[in-house]
Structure formats: structure tokens, C-alpha cells
Amino acid sequence: MRSILFLMVAWLVAAGEAHAQQRPAGYPRSYDALIATARAERGLTIYGNADSAELVGVVAAFHRAYPGIAVRYADLGSIDIYRRLVSETRAKRPSADLVWSSAMALQVKLINDGYAQSYASPEKPALPPQAVWKNMGYGVTAEPIGIVYNRRLIPDARMPRSHAALEAMLRQRRSAFTGKVTTFDPARSNVGYLYLAQDMAITRDSRGLLRAIAATKPVLQANTEPMLAAVAAGKQAIAYNVIGSYALEQAKRDPRLGVVLPSDYTIVTSRIAFIARDARAPASARLFLDFLLSRRGQSLLAARSLWPVRPDVPARRLSATQARPIRVGPQLLVHLDRITCQRFLRDWQAILAGAPTP
């Protein structure tokens, strides 16, 4: 409710500054009709799992560009987003107009199952090809997955900078790190499952690292926040496979935290947005999606912790040899296959138990 309130306040301020809206430069003339339709809708509802505080600047700028169009943002967990959209759509109840989540596989499943509508954004030519699927799913961010550590427990100079070096340290100092490593629980976290699956797909050496982590009796969590809090407090020394963009932003304010984006490879994930099939404010949803993908919107995301997907927006970036972006597309559905998931989780449990795995 708090996130909805602050966005409504921003709308009230912007509404008092209303002025004639001009379509963005380079957009087709038909966009004027879309703006007019959106103004008649007067607002849209977004289901998202980005921290609402990260979107204050984006929403305020959107309101200045399109006065009178309210933005109601529901800050939800990725599983809640999926379940609410499906249940509300099936019951023909009001639901989200725009759906935006870091759970890439769940987003692709919703699109594949018919819960999205097609829209060719005017900003599409400026996006990397791997960020768009079927003119429905749009990867809005390019966020690295990294390793967070407590700088008091592990001096910067001694912190491993690659997956192989991390494995070596955990094996050599297993007793020192017992109970001091935390990571996602893939059985409770869709994104955690995806990151571990990507590790395994990138290199078979990942199994050795996971065994080294398992030997420390890791603390498993369902989301990033408790991992960062535990590392900052010194309860854990290392958090593996956390969203690096969030961690880097928090590390700016907390000198206890250090962040490593592994030099051998760094997974890059994206928050996928799509317009809901039964959106009650589809024009407004298109306007907001275009704004998120525009240079202005991407620059505002970059000013916070959400790394932009557009290559023409100034921001910190990984080299092509280091980055391993997860492509937006149907291959993500493999991770939701029941048999594949069960097999993966069995392997993971065997690794945690120290048993041999195939």
C-alpha cells in the first residue's frame, strides 16, 4: 500500500503541472492517438518486484511527460505476481496492466500461456536483440549477478575474484566458513533456481563450487534482502549469486559490504515487462513501457541500482567476455519443466548432503 500511495502523491503534484504533451521525437504520428487514449484511461496498474523506492524518479518523470495519468504500483514477490495475474485474469477481475518482474522464466511462461498482448515499441530498434521476445516480452534492465562479502571478515585483497578462486578458498578454509555462507534456496526462489541452473549451463566446473559451498553448511534464503543484511551484520561472510546491482547500491551506503562481479563470467539477468492481455488501460501501459525503454527512462533507472539494457545509455557495463546475459525467450521454459526441476532439485539436495551426483 505504501508504494501505491507515494506514486499517487507524485501524480497529484504532476497533475498540477499539466501541459500539452508532445509525442517523443522520432515516434510515429499515430502515437498522438495513443497518448489521447491513455489520458482518457487516466491511470494504470503495475505489478512489479523492483523496490518501489527505485522507481520514484522514473514515475515522477513519467508524470511530467504525461500529466494526469496515475501510476499504481504494487510491490510484490515474483511468485505473488504470477499467481495474482493468473487467478485474477481467470476470474475476469481487474488486474495489472503492466507486469514487470525479475523472475524471467515465470514471465516467459505467462507470455507463452497467453497472458500478454503484442506491442511493437518504438524503442525496440535501440534494444539488444536478446532483450525482446515476440514483441511481447521486453527486457528492461541488464543486472549482474555477483558475490557479496563482509569486508571486515574478508579483506578486499583476499577476496576471490573468480568462481574457481572462491571454490579454492572455501575448500582450503572450510572450517572458518562453516555457517558463514548464504545463497538462494532454489526450492523456494525461482530466480535463485535460475541463477544456479545458469551456472551449471555455463560450465561443469560449477558443480565443484556448489560442493564447496555445501560443505560450509550454507544458510539458504528466498530473497536477496536477508542475505545482504546478514553479510553486513557479520553473521555471514559471503552471499553467493545475489543481484549485483542492488548490492552495489547498498555497498555505496554501507562500507561493511564488498561486491565482486566474477572475472571469469558474470551472469546478467533482466527484469522482463509485458502488457497484460486483459489490461484495462492498455494505452497507458504502452506509454509507461515505452518510457521505461526510452533513453530518459533508462538513464533514470541507471541513476539508481537498475542497470539499463540500452547500450546507448551511459552506465557501468561488463566486458563482452565477462558478461553472460540470459536471453529473453522460450528456452527459459526448460527451467519450469516439472521433471527438469525435480531432477535439478534432487541433484542440489544430494550436493548439500555431500552425496555423489550423476
| φ/ψ (deg, to 5) at 241 | 65, 50
User: Are 279 and 97 spatial neighbours (Cβ–Cβ below 8 Å)?
Assistant: yes
Cβ pair 306, 245 in contact under 8 A: yes
Give, in order, the Cα–Cα distances in Å from 71 to each of 36, 141, 233: 16, 20, 36
pLDDT at 11 over 50: no
CA distances 190 to 19, 187, 262, Å, are 43, 8, 22
pLDDT of 221 strictly over 60: yes
* Residue 112 C-beta-side C-alpha neighbours within 13 Å: 14
pLDDT band at 357 (very low <50, low <70, confident <90, very high): low
Q: Does the pLDDT of residue 355 top 70, yes or no?
A: no
Which residue do the cell numbers 548464504 mark? 182
CA 306 – CA 201 distance, rounded (Å)? 25
Residues 200-216: what's their mean pLDDT? 94
- Averaged over 341-352, what is the pLDDT? 92
pLDDT surpasses 80 at 99: yes
High-pLDDT (> 70) share of the chain, %: 93
Strands (DSSP E) contained in 69-207 are 70-75, 98-101, 116-117, 132-133, 137-139, 143-150, 181-184
pLDDT greater than 80 at residue 4: no
Provide the pLDDT for residue 198.
94
pLDDT tier, 98 (very low <50, low <70, confident <90, very high otherwise) = very high
Grid cell, residue 226, equals 536477508
- Predicted structure pTM score: 0.88
Q: Is the pLDDT of residue 8 over 50?
A: no
| Residue 190 pLDDT | 84
Using the predicted structure, report yes or no on whether residue 10 has a pLDDT greater than 60: no
> Residues 57-64: what's their mean pLDDT?
94
